[in-house]
Structure 1
Amino acid sequence: MTEMVYGTAPIRAGEPVLPRWWRTVDKWSISCILLLFGVGMLLGLAASPPLAEKNGFDAFHYVERQAVFGVAALVAMLVVSTMPPDLVRRAGVVGFAAAFVALALLPILGTDFGKGAVRWYSLGFASVQPSEFLKPAFVVLAAWLMAAGQEVNGPPGRTISLAVALVVVAFLAMQPDFGQAALVLFAWGVMYFVAGASLVLLVGLAGAVVFAGVVAYQNSEHFARRIDGFLSPEIDPRTQLGYAVNAIQEGGIFGVGVGEGQVKWSLPDAHTDFIIAVAAEEYGLILVLAIIALYLTVVLRALYRLTRERDGFIRLAGTGLACSFGVQALINMGVAVKLLPAKGMTLPFVSYGGSSIIASGIALGALLALTRTRPQGEIGDLLRRGGRA
């Protein structure tokens, strides 16, 4: 009866998993993700050889590692994208528990690699950053709690999800990792807004975040140094930000030419946090706009497909994953042009980094799984029929 009222998407009895996946997944988004990975490899070829030479490795050491990480991320993305929503939810909850335990143990077992923030586990041959995997898992967990809270006699899901978010943010702030903490709060706020939060409450939460920022500024030298650098009208040309801004200015519209850029010889993080500066210097504004267009396409197509979804969990989790993906890219590029304070955040699927790219693959796989076409009615059907069951 429900199918007669709401309508269904086409389904073929006995259809194998892979053909059904290919027929229902968003192919435009997959294409954009593959292009982003290709751009990342191209920029890695330009940005990483100087650092590899400095560290005594082969010229393409970091490129080869990025290729291995990227293939693992794409495989993870494709596997996760074949999962049904209920399996995505269960995997997200279990993944959150594992990532949170790993995050909590960082002060005891973690390392800072000389960067002043204990964010990683050293495995000898590689390192793992738990916060990267925590982000998508938290989004799924929070979406499940909020969706459960919308049910009749459901638990106080919004309140519980807020408590979880604050605990996660507290652990991230202790590293310190204020960038990831801000991203977690942003994802929670977006989902809370979609779930129907009042504007007064959101304004109050924004005020609380500002107050927390003031406290952090007064008590954290790491945080204060970055804010002071951002607010300063002058840019020290000897800092990473100074090198990045100069490279972007030198690149202009068409760039200085492939392999002709100089910033990669000065920036220690040219292949990670500031890789957009390498893109802007060697390929110019044209490539930067193309990269922005790829991120926008993934985010906007996901949000468009989610507007037709009736399931509360899918709408919330998909929105949180899509917006987190887009905002992380926005933050990374905003830092490079001094529109935002430095946060040490990678450019998803483009920057070098094992934890970052594999976690991004898992997150995008979940997003693709949640935005697949399924044999169910859409929210528009319900609205047009006046909510009749």
Structure 2
Amino acid sequence: MTEMVYGTLPLRDGEPILPKWWRTIDRWSLTTVLILFGIGLLLGLAASPPLAERVGYPPFHFVTRQAVFGILAMAAMVVTSVMSPQLVRRLAVMAFAVSFVALILLPIFGSDFGKGATRWYSLGFASLQPSEFLKPLFVVVAAWMLAAAQELNGPPGRLWSFLLMTVIVFFLAMQPDFGQAALVLFGWGVMYFVAGAPLTLLIGMAGAVVAVGVFAYNNSQHFARRIDGFLNPEIDPTTQIGYATNAIREGGLFGVGVGQGEVKMSLPDAHTDFIIAVAAEEYGLALVLLIILLYAGLVLRSFLRLTRERDPFIRLAGIGLVSTIGVQAMINLGVAVRLLPAKGMTLPFISYGGSSVIASGIAVGMLLAFTRTRPQGEIGDLLAAGRKR
């Protein structure tokens, strides 16, 4: 139990890869992710059959596909978590270059699937959303740049990461996908702050974000429609927010019963962006609180392990990854209860979606690789040793 809580066991030379992986991995975080995915399959069984029947598929079409996506995501997570941080960084840089080119080419070869935003590539048997993979890969690349800037005579990594982030946010906003753009900006901002950015600069950036939001509101009907709907005190009961709000209200503390919910019959995105409404209606506040606690546990557990990490790159990349996952979950939940404007954003590991689930698996795999126990002096010990000199 001690090593699960504190992660202090030393590595043994010559130990096989899998036993070493199991002994050094953060098993609490790994278990949390597996539970979240299990909950996603459970909710998928409840939410997706009505939609499958409406579009002419077998009742469990979407659940079966989600299980396949989940197996691929878990495999990617395990394989990535076995890697060393250095190997994760090298592969992330190469994969980021591919994802970045795919993002740039979306206006030419992408598809909007009738949703008004060109975010996907149609592969025939499935679709691919480059921004889902770009998010965690950018975090690792930006962390590498920010960490390199802290070295003596290091490159201007802060400037490079800022320019790269700006370009990515621009292309995402052009789709338009303001939600993913906000996540990329937030992940970079957290890492930049941890890397030692002055508070005045961050305040200035916040002001710039507000200015860009005002510009987008005045020039984008898509963005303005979302904001107007959020600010309107009256909720149209025939909208997705209206259905979700009513479902959450009907669920109460313990829900109306498994399979007894009605929201899945009306919500077109009941298995994706608004899956928490299905959870609230059929299982009640109890399951919603469990989901929130699982995400909070993953975030806090990772933060605690990363505070003891002495490598700046690992610390920055890990904090950026877990912050992005946590904020994405918070945005999805906030939209469902109308605390935030409507935004098409999945709930990590729970919502249906191949790109989202697999990209989340890769992100957590990298996070687990960064938080594995390694033979190193803790950062507190290094600071104490420096004061004694």
Query: Normalized against structure 2, the TM-score is what?
Result: 0.97
**Which SS does the other structure have where 1:15 is aligned?**
coil
> What SS does structure 1 have at the residue aligned with 2:345?
coil
The SS at the match of 2:386 is: coil
Q: In structure 2, what is the equivalent of residue 223 of structure 1?
A: 223
Letter in 2 for 1:200: T
2-structure distance, mates of 1:245, 1:319: 33
Runs of 5+ unmatched residues, structure 1:
1-7
Number of aligned residues: 382
User: 1:31 deviation in Å?
Assistant: 0.6
Quick check: 1:255–1:281 contact (8 Å CA) kept in 2?
yes
In the alignment, which residue of structure 1 is the partner of 2:3? Answer: none
Supply the distance in 2 between the matched residues of 1:116 and 1:32 (Cα, whole angstroms): 35
Provide the C-alpha distance between the structure 2 equivalents of 1:218 and 1:320, rounded to a whole number of angstroms: 31
Cα distance in structure 2, aligned partners of 1:71 and 1:298 = 20
Alpha carbons of 1:95 and 1:252: their partners in 2 closer, same or farther (altered >3 Å)? same
- For 1:56, the equivalent position in structure 2 comes to 56
Q: CA separation in 2, counterparts of 1:388 and 1:309?
A: 20
CA shift for structure 1 position 185? 0.3
Is 2:156 the partner of 1:156?
yes
CA spacing shift, 1:126–1:388, aligned 2, 3 Å: farther
Per-residue deviation, 1:92: 1.2
CA distance in 2, matches of 1:254, 1:141: 44
* Percentage of matched positions with identical amino acids: 73
Q: Distance in 2 between matches of 1:342 and 1:313?
A: 34
Q: Give the superposition deviation at 1:9.
A: 5.3
Aligned pair in 2 of structure 1 residues 122, 388: CA closer, same or farther (>3 Å)? farther
Alignment of 1:44-193 (within 5 A): 44-193=44-193
TM-superposition CA deviations, 1:130-162 (whole Å, max 9, x none): 000000000000000000000000011111100
Please say if residues 9 and 24 of structure 2, whose CA atoms lie closer than 8 Å, have aligned partners that are also in contact. no
| Paired AA for residue 88 in structure 2 | V
Name the residue aligned to 1:333: 333
1:265 partnered with 2:275: no
For 2:364 and 2:388, the matched residues in 1 are separated by 34
Aligned residues: CA RMSD: 0.9
Corresponding position of 1:289: 289
Residue number in structure 2 paired with 1:243: 243
Match in the other structure for 2:309: 309
How far 1:384 sits from its partner (Å)? 2.1
| Contact preservation (8 Å) 1:382, 1:388 | no
Deviation at 1:387, TM superposition (A): 5.1
Report if aligned partners of 2:11, 2:375 keep a CA contact under 8 Å in 1: yes
One-letter amino acid of the structure 2 residue matched with residue 72 of structure 1: L
8 Å CA contact retained: 2:310, 2:379? yes
Q: What is the aligned partner in structure 2 of residue 24 from structure 1?
A: 24
Counterpart check, 1:41 vs 2:45:
no
User: d(CA) in 2 for partners of 1:13 and 1:161?
Assistant: 37
Distance in 2 (alpha carbons) for counterparts of 1:106 and 1:328: 23
State the TM-score, normalizing by the size of structure 1.
0.97
Q: Which runs of 5+ in 2 are unaligned?
A: 1-7
Large movers: runs of 4+ above 6 Å: none
Spell out, residue by residue over 1:308-330, the C-alpha distance to the aligned partner (whole angstroms, 9 max, x if none): 00000000000000000000000
C-alpha separation between the residues in 2 aligned to 1:296 and 1:65?
28
What letter corresponds to residue 83 of structure 1 in structure 2?
M
Contact 1:9 1:376 in 2 (8 A): no
Distance 1:358 1:85, change over 3 A: same
* Residue number in structure 2 paired with 1:381: 381
Return the offset for 1:204: 0.3
